[in-house]
Amino acid sequence: MGTEEGHVTPGEPDVFRIAVLASGSGSNLQAIIDRLHQPRFALADIDDYGEAPAAAAPAGGAGCAGLPGWTAEHPPVPRIEVVLVISDIPGARALDRAVRAGIRTATIPVSDYRDREQHDLALATKLVEVEPDLIVLAGYMRIVAPSLLKAFPWRVINLHPALLPAFPGTHSIADAVRYGVKVTGVTVHFVDPGVDSGPVIVQEAVCVRDCDTAETLAERIHEVEHRLLPEVVRLIAAGRVRPPLPGSRVVQVD
Ligand code: GRF
């Protein structure tokens, strides 16, 4: 029933804990690892002068200054750590990327379970164990169970390669090219029980060229994704993203 490797220490203060769910190549997981992930051991890696190396500096310092809208009065971002990567696909490249970064992994394939409910339960159990502050769906190709969303209210986000509500589903980039739109883009949104239907946190447009194929457009979309998703995670970690008020879909980003 699923496999896992690695270790984790829940409950450590002043750390923003992320779990990432990924089914595929994991290039967005890699962007999170490269831009945000600060493993605990790096903080202990203090030099003779009592200073941490640049890679271990708190993310609220220089690392944050490049964000659009960032100003000195915003509170610093806590240390961000990817504490678990889960895939439903054994051998997914995302798992390999996590292992190479020293991140705990779990493989929870649907075929290991009697039904969807049991699979969802296994997934939720694994997530609860690591006490994540945020669950990031980065190319996770399954619908998340409502029970999981209830367990982590406003703490599950998804990345989508189109400007929702346009082109939901799994072929959004090809759909945009086929439709002939001139602008598509990237959406990061809170997950609700529907398919790509939760409240939007941020969106960024990408122009579609007349000569684009799904492949050429995908390249430019992925470039935006690799920048935008870590930025949103950092904004959430800094407490700058407020979920919609009851009856509204508007997410406020300070
Ligand atoms: C991304 O394009 C994301 O928008 C979509 O799935 C793709 C995942 O790519 N949901 P990767 O596995 O992160 O490379």
pLDDT digits (tens, 9 = 90+) for 140-159: 999 999 999 999 999 999 99
Pick the range with the lowest mean pLDDT from 17-21, 117-121, 212-216: 117-121
d(C-alpha 39, C-alpha 78), whole Å: 12
- Does 248 or 50 have the greater pLDDT score? 248
| Residue % of the chain over a pLDDT of 90 | 79
Q: Which atom of ligand 1 is nearest to the CA of 22?
A: 12
- pLDDT band at 163, cuts 50/70/90? very high
Q: What is the mean pLDDT of residues 159-184?
A: 98
Mention every residue, 6+ apart, whose C-beta is less than 8 A from residue 117.
145
Residue 61 has pLDDT above 90, yes or no: no
Query: What pLDDT score was predicted for residue 75?
Result: 66
Query: What pLDDT score was predicted for residue 14?
Result: 85
State whether residue 35 is helix, strand or coil: helix
**Which residue lies with its CA nearest to atom 6 of ligand 1?**
139
Mean predicted lDDT score pLDDT of the chain: 87
**Which residue lies with its CA nearest to atom 5 of ligand 1?**
139
CB distance 160 to ligand 1 below 6 Å: yes
Residue 55 has pLDDT above 70, yes or no: no
In this structure, the strands spanning 105-107 and 79-87 are parallel
Residue 17 has pLDDT above 90, yes or no: yes
Closest to 80 measured CA to CA, from 232, 204, 190, 242: 232
- pLDDT band at 76, cuts 50/70/90? confident
Query: What pLDDT score was predicted for residue 40?
Result: 82
- pLDDT band at 227, cuts 50/70/90? very high
Q: Which atom of ligand 1 is nearest to the CA of 27?
A: 14
- Cis upstream peptide for 165 (omega within 30°): yes
